[in-house]
Structure 1
Amino acid sequence: MVFRTSLFLSLAALFIAGAQSTTVFFTNKCSYTVWPATLTGGGAPQLPTTGFELPSGESSTLEVPPNWTSGRIWGRTGCTTDSTTGKFSCLTGDCASGQIECNGAGGIPPATLLEFTLNGNSNGIDFYDVSLVDGFNLPVSVQPLGNYSCNATSCAGDVNGVCLPELSVTGPDGSVVACKSACLALNQPQYCCSGEYNAPEKCPPTGYSKLFKAQCPQAYSYAYDDGSSTFTCPTGDNYLVMFCP
């Protein structure tokens, strides 16, 4: 269940609840509404809320299992409900469920992804990252709360503003609303790190992935971009997800 509340009260609640559960705090600093979505992988049950509306300037919190593995969060943009059919759809990040809730469906790329593997309350390590492997639709960041030794990560740059024509997704007004990765757009093994290129030493960064990396140095820009893009924190912390940080 999602609870919309003030920034101060939500942060206070996070620290109180942190010992028993993991809470993700969302805030939208974009000038437009974002519709966050979640996906739980690995055959585990989906979260009680898999999609919701987050207007500009508002905040919300979402409780997730402390052992939430293969978890994904992304933001959808340009969403509307058809007045005739009642079908909900989005220009970017749409999960094609026809509803605000994604109900176990993933986002259609390109979309900026936050990926989580949380390892419960067993003195383990949480892993989190921002991925542009399938492309970009809006800036986002994730920050651990409570443990000041853990680092935040983000993709705060405007990839859409430098997106090349062959990677661009445009909206009804012709503006670039998302930017595909080279793998998604061109579907060639040297960009997807597949086939004969399926090894780190055989799949180095390309001009396309370097374009993404220049805008978002901490984010995954292609499949083997592990060294500078995976972040960890002792398990049991809570997390702040910010759109347009």
Structure 2
Amino acid sequence: MRFNYLLCVVTLLCYVYGGTSAIFTIKNNCPYTIWPATLTSRGGSIPTGFELGSHAATTLNAPAGWSGRIWARSACSYSGGRFHCLAGDCGSGQVACNGAGGAPPVSLIEFTLNGDGNKDYYDLSLVDGFNFPVAVAPRGGCPTAICPVDINNRGCPNELAVRDGRGGVIGCKSACIAFNQPQFCCTGPFSTPETCKPTNYSEIFKRQCPQAYSYAYDDKSSLFTCPAGGNYLITFCP
């Protein structure tokens, strides 16, 4: 939802795939293995899912004009020949997501490369909830976007919490995902920036990660830009 709105804003005048490609360096700073994944909305394809051990890193080459999202999955295993994750699963049954998005709650990193004004646009979105602390650090002096707090274990209300088989919190839903009500989802009579305002639930995310989107119209403090052609370090558990 939030991603579609962002894409509409920043690509209104830019439908040409020219420009400079970018390199995403994905780093796992967590003390356990994760399985990052990507979903392409526009532009050429990049790997859609892979395993990344603790403190390991890998690079992805994103073509010029690429738009999409990146997230991470955890607590993953094979069962009956199918790959499944308790957090962030994309439902493909494989390590590669192959065009499927992650099931909320997931912390999303969203990019539009070579967008309007020959800029890269990037943000962190908790609109659908949270599952990992994450940071996006552009190389070259542009602003870093960071959500450094593990909201799963610091303030996630019981009614939003997603738990594993042992009762541990592995994700924190947004109020929209948990309750599916217009005032939380910015739909129906709440579908404009004037009518959809922060709620007590979105403020839980915003207080701990002020640079991340906490609800659909949280643009002023959460959308970042950089001259096109930059490279980016994306760190889970920064």
Report the equivalent of 1:180.
173
Aligned pairs, number = 219
1:177-216 pair list within 5 angstroms: 177-216=170-209
Report the equivalent of 1:108.
103
Work out which of the residue numbers 67, 87, 90 in structure 1 matches 2:65. Answer: 67
Report the alpha carbon displacement of residue 46 of structure 1 after superposing the two structures with TM.
Answer: 3.2
Show structure 1 runs of 5+ residues with no match.
1-18
- 1:215-237 superposed Cα distances (whole Å, 9 cap, x missing partner): 10100000010000000000000
Show structure 2 runs of 5+ residues with no match.
1-18
- Letter of the aligned partner of 1:59 in structure 2? A
CA distance in 1, matches of 2:60, 2:151: 28
Q: Report if the CA contact (8 A) 1:142-1:154 is conserved.
A: yes
CA distance in 2, matches of 1:91, 1:222: 24
Q: Report if the CA contact (8 A) 1:46-1:103 is conserved.
A: no
- 1:197-216 superposed Cα distances (whole Å, 9 cap, x missing partner): 11111111000000000110
- Letter of the aligned partner of 1:172 in structure 2? G
CA distance in 2, matches of 1:225, 1:159: 18
Report the equivalent of 2:45.
46
CA distance in 2, matches of 1:155, 1:96: 26
- Letter of the aligned partner of 1:152 in structure 2? T
Report the equivalent of 1:35.
35
Q: Report if the CA contact (8 A) 1:136-1:159 is conserved.
A: yes
CA distance in 1, matches of 2:45, 2:167: 36
Q: Report if the CA contact (8 A) 2:25-2:232 is conserved.
A: yes
CA distance in 1, matches of 2:130, 2:114: 27
- 1:34-74 superposed Cα distances (whole Å, 9 cap, x missing partner): 100000014x5532x100000101111111112102x1000
Q: Does 1:143 align with 2:141?
A: no
Q: Report if the CA contact (8 A) 2:21-2:65 is conserved.
A: no
- 1:85-120 superposed Cα distances (whole Å, 9 cap, x missing partner): 211000111000000000000001110000000017
Q: What SS does the corresponding residue of 2:194 show, helix, strand or coil?
A: helix
Report the alpha carbon displacement of residue 26 of structure 1 after superposing the two structures with TM.
Answer: 1.0
CA distance in 1, matches of 2:219, 2:178: 22
- Letter of the aligned partner of 1:226 in structure 2? D
What CA RMSD, in Å, does the superposition of the two structures yield over aligned residues? 1.5
Q: What SS does the corresponding residue of 2:87 show, helix, strand or coil?
A: coil
Q: Does 1:78 align with 2:62?
A: no
For residues 171 and 234 of structure 1, do their structure 2 counterparts lie closer, same or farther at Cα, with a shift above 3 Å needed? same
CA distance in 1, matches of 2:131, 2:117: 35
Task: Tell me which stretches of 4 or more aligned residues in structure 1 moved more than 3 Å.
Answer: none
Report the equivalent of 1:157.
149
Q: What SS does the corresponding residue of 1:91 show, helix, strand or coil?
A: strand
Q: Does 1:91 align with 2:86?
A: yes
TM-score normalized by the length of structure 1: 0.86
- 1:127-153 superposed Cα distances (whole Å, 9 cap, x missing partner): 0000000000011111111x21x1010
Q: Report if the CA contact (8 A) 1:46-1:104 is conserved.
A: no
- Letter of the aligned partner of 1:141 in structure 2? A
TM-score normalized by the length of structure 2: 0.89
Report the alpha carbon displacement of residue 123 of structure 1 after superposing the two structures with TM.
Answer: 7.0
Report the alpha carbon displacement of residue 156 of structure 1 after superposing the two structures with TM.
Answer: 1.0
Report the equivalent of 2:128.
134
